[in-house]
Structure 1
Amino acid sequence: MAAPHPEDSDEDAALAIWGSIPEPILLIAADGFVLRGNDRFASAFGHVIRPKSEKKLTDIFSNSTEFFQQALRDWLGTREPLPKIFQQSGQNGVSTSLRVEGWRTQYGDRAAVILRFFQGNPSIDRFIELTTLVDTLNNECARRARIEDELRSLLGQLNAVNNMRDLIMAQLSHDLRTPLNAVLGMSEFILSEPFGKMNPRYNDYVNDIKLSGEILLEQVNSALSMTEDTDILDRTKDLLADLSDCLDSCHRVASPIAQRRGIDLLVPTNIRAPRIRAEKTLVKQILMNLIGNATKHIEEGGHIKVDVDWQMGSDLNVSVIDDGPGIDPEKLEALLRSNSRDAYATNKTGFGMGLYLTSRSAEAIGARISIDSAPGKGTIATMTIPAAMLDMSTL
């Protein structure tokens, strides 16, 4: 239907028709000039459109110029209402979503477009809100996909590093154990006196070489084991370790060194305690590390005592007690959580990772290590074996 033309009909009748329309209405010429507008448009948008106005549509909606230039071309091509959505900025700077429908009409002999505005349409606002949420979700999905790609790349690099570590540790194990085993083997060969009786002093020296080699081999085995946690777990099977045998072995290795340094080492024998559900080698390594640490850092003339405390139904505690220089509590805390060098009060050289490695080994078999120490008051290092790890049937 053609738009009412005041020049072809009664002016009052034409204006009455425009005034009866509830929505804001504009009549736009094909060149973009505004021909007519009703009162509702004037009240809604603050623009009174007078006959023969020189205003253009883009003058009224200056912040949406490109939108209306394209939309006007689209509306001139249809006789059916064609809806579009645009953002209108208010005086407070807040944008409002507006829907406008336009279609081609005739204004006298001129092509024109009628525009009908729907202000504050909730469905339109909700549509724009949902569209924004969808865009945000798509951006978040893309961001997470990038993160997953980065994590996969890092995982590949980590696997490569782990593989390289395994190769290095295998080579290190060979490089360290081979000469140590040769030293131990030759020591045993010499002690067998294949070429005749040796001077007792030489015999003592060879025994010291053999015992020192055994201690070093124990430390090497402990260090290498701690770099491969999975190997430790595989080795910690449902085996039984006899505490008396483990302590006897440790005493045979540590006693000559303690005697040479003038240290009194007291280790109990014939212990009445259940066997431990753990691999014997690991239990012995843990005890050897505790005794070895005390032996290395105690002054000549000092005392080391191994104490075993167990009652039926309770945990088994094995403590290594020394009257050495002790450890500062702050340094002790650092030692138990990192592989730094043992920060004992005296400037003794040593393996440097004893407490950390011992604690990790104990955790691997299900036990725990606790240290009670203070400068000048000695040290008590205790391995606590939970009652659940004790085989009561072996008593």
Structure 2
Amino acid sequence: MSSGVSTSNDKIIVDRTRAHRNKAVSKAVRATRERLQSNGSSSPMFDREMLTLHLHSMLQGAMIMPLFVTLVAAAGIYINPQGGMLGWALLTLAIHSINLLLARRASRIEITTAKIGKWRIRLLAGQILMGCCWAIFSLGQCDTCGTDGFYFYKGAVLLVAISISAMANVTLRQATLLAFVPAVITLAVTAFSSRSTLDIGLTAMAATALILFHYISDRLHRSNLTLMSYQSEKDDLIAELEVAKSVSDEARRRAEEANLAKSRFLASMSHELRTPLNAILGFSEVMSSEVLGPLSNPTYKEYAGDIHRSGQHLLNLINEILDLSRIEAGRYELSEESLSLLEIAEDCIGMVQLRARSKNITIKQQFEPDLPQVWADEKSMRQVVLNLLSNAVKFTTQGGEVTVKVGWTAGGGQYVTIKDNGPGIAEEEIPVVLSAFGQGSIAIKSAEQGTGLGLPIVQAILAKHDGQFILRSKLREGTEAIAILPATRVLQSLPAVADAQAIEPRRKSFA
């Protein structure tokens, strides 16, 4: 092997230095799948997100509660100037300011998972202090104003306050409940001591509103958790897809490197393999033909013939492998010229005729007359027809029949179809035999096995000619192989048949 062709990269097909990267990728995939399979509602990551959302909501709606308290205090002073509403308003605003300062401080620092519980307790404690303010409000009385009007005022204020708290504290569970349980308890104690119907009704109304808004807040909290879980799953899926894409890109790159190394190896081995084979073929042919004199032992002559046939078979296999490697590497060049498919078919039939007679196989010809020439590579087209004919003769049983047709296609192109009545191929095995090194069950059982490269090479050559290869087969009925060249390859083109009824017979001619 010449040293100029081989490189160090060709020898290293598998890159062992990337093992640590593969381990990291596998670890990332496992971690992602564990996150996808875990319950989102119990994840500390969601707790931190919900706490962050609550802090953001408090700071964004910082002026809602002061405005509401101011309106309530103004209305209370108007209804009952001696009720102490101003002091209550100042106390409530002070506690609300403390809660805002606490939220602002929490938003400016990074809350770790270990500190989430402590900050939740602090925020809930602030809500309890606000609850004490609403409990003080619920104790308010007005002896000078009408009873019904003051109860209506107090009930309306509590309902609005509960609703505002429920909407503001969706992302902090139990906050609404803790903020108004003191007020409900205060109303319940007042109702129990006064036995007043209005106090009992106000207590029932406040308790019912608290339970209802707490339920709504809890449902909204769960909905937010579900949305966060979906968002997290989407992000994890995207991350896993990116990881899988990186793994796929790496595998594709390594496969391309291995394929390139294989192509370089086969190209470099071409000369080294063919040189000794040519010597073996030449010397064995000289010995079997007794050019330099008769062989004293007839067995030697027979052995020389076996050596020549085996060497010729080995050379054909090497040529097929090299052809396929050149096609895969994109280095298979066509030497196009005008040629006749009829002449190529007749020559190939003559080449396999002797082998067909040894198996008592009849080869029938059905050629359309006066076919014009086509623009194609003669060597490649001869290889296509010869491969298909050789397969038909190889797998057709004794006394069988092979039919070769050459004619026009319905679109103005030309076709060569070779049909036999051999054992056939199972329908599910057709993709296998069309793949490189693929062989069907009949070929595996046959004594004349090949490399499984004939049909892939035929398919690739026809694709280089912009043509088409069709393989049809049924078990115990036979196989039909159709090689089609497009109308653009025909030098004297026949116009495409426009009539649908006229197209059908031409299709049937090779169907």
Per the normalisation by structure 2, the TM-score is: 0.46
Q: In the alignment, is the contact (CA less than 8 A) between 1:290 and 1:320 conserved in 2?
A: yes
Q: 2:70 — aligned with what? A: 39
Cα distance per residue 1:12-62 (max 9 Å; x no partner): xxxxxxxxxxx6697xxxxxxxxxx9605979xxx9854577955564348
Q: CA deviation at 1:331?
A: 1.8
**What secondary structure, in the 3-state scheme, does the structure 1 residue paired with 2:441 have?**
coil
- Letter of the aligned partner of 1:372 in structure 2? R
Q: 2:439 — aligned with what? A: 341
Among 474, 487, 493, the alignment partner of 1:374 is 474
Q: In the alignment, is the contact (CA less than 8 A) between 1:296 and 1:348 conserved in 2?
A: no
**What secondary structure, in the 3-state scheme, does the structure 2 residue paired with 1:344 have?**
helix
- Aligned in 2, Cα 1:254/1:184: closer, same or farther, shift over 3 Å? farther
Give the fraction of aligned pairs with identical amino acids, expressed as a percent.
Answer: 23
Aligned-residue RMSD, C-alpha: 5.0
Cα distance per residue 1:334-385 (max 9 Å; x no partner): 4335642133388214225233332233222222222232112122212112
**What secondary structure, in the 3-state scheme, does the structure 2 residue paired with 1:371 have?**
strand
Among 340, 351, 363, the alignment partner of 2:463 is 363
Q: Is 1:91 matched up with 2:166?
A: yes
- Using CA pairs under 8 Å that are at least 6 residues apart, name the structure with larger relative contact order, 1 or 2: 2
Q: Is 1:310 matched up with 2:408?
A: yes
- Letter of the aligned partner of 1:308 in structure 2? V
Q: CA deviation at 1:196?
A: 4.2
- Aligned in 2, Cα 1:219/1:277: closer, same or farther, shift over 3 Å? farther
**What secondary structure, in the 3-state scheme, does the structure 1 residue paired with 2:291 have?**
coil
Q: 2:99 — aligned with what? A: 60
**C-alpha distance in 2 between matches for 1:212 and 1:268:** 34
**What secondary structure, in the 3-state scheme, does the structure 1 residue paired with 2:412 have?**
coil
Structure that is richer in strand per residue: 1
**C-alpha distance in 2 between matches for 1:249 and 1:201:** 34
**C-alpha distance in 1 between matches for 2:437 and 2:253:** 26
Q: Which runs of 5+ in 1 are unaligned?
A: 1-22, 27-36, 71-87, 97-138
Q: Is 1:161 matched up with 2:258?
A: yes
Q: CA deviation at 1:329?
A: 1.9
**What secondary structure, in the 3-state scheme, does the structure 2 residue paired with 1:274 have?**
coil
Q: Is 1:291 matched up with 2:330?
A: no
- Aligned in 2, Cα 1:313/1:51: closer, same or farther, shift over 3 Å? closer
Q: Is 1:254 matched up with 2:345?
A: no
Q: Is 1:181 matched up with 2:278?
A: yes
Q: Is 1:236 matched up with 2:334?
A: yes
**C-alpha distance in 2 between matches for 1:50 and 1:201:** 123
Q: In the alignment, is the contact (CA less than 8 A) between 1:240 and 1:277 conserved in 2?
A: yes
Among 450, 467, 483, the alignment partner of 1:383 is 483
Q: CA deviation at 1:277?
A: 1.8
Q: In the alignment, is the contact (CA less than 8 A) between 1:247 and 1:267 conserved in 2?
A: no
- Aligned in 2, Cα 1:94/1:146: closer, same or farther, shift over 3 Å? same
Q: Aligned pair count?
A: 300
Q: Which runs of 5+ in 2 are unaligned?
A: 1-62, 75-85, 110-126, 128-163, 173-234, 494-511
Q: CA deviation at 1:290?
A: 0.7
**What secondary structure, in the 3-state scheme, does the structure 2 residue paired with 1:195 have?**
coil
Cα distance per residue 1:271-327 (max 9 Å; x no partner): 743333221121111112111211221222322232222389832121212121112
Among 314, 318, 323, the alignment partner of 1:225 is 323
**C-alpha distance in 2 between matches for 1:275 and 1:202:** 48
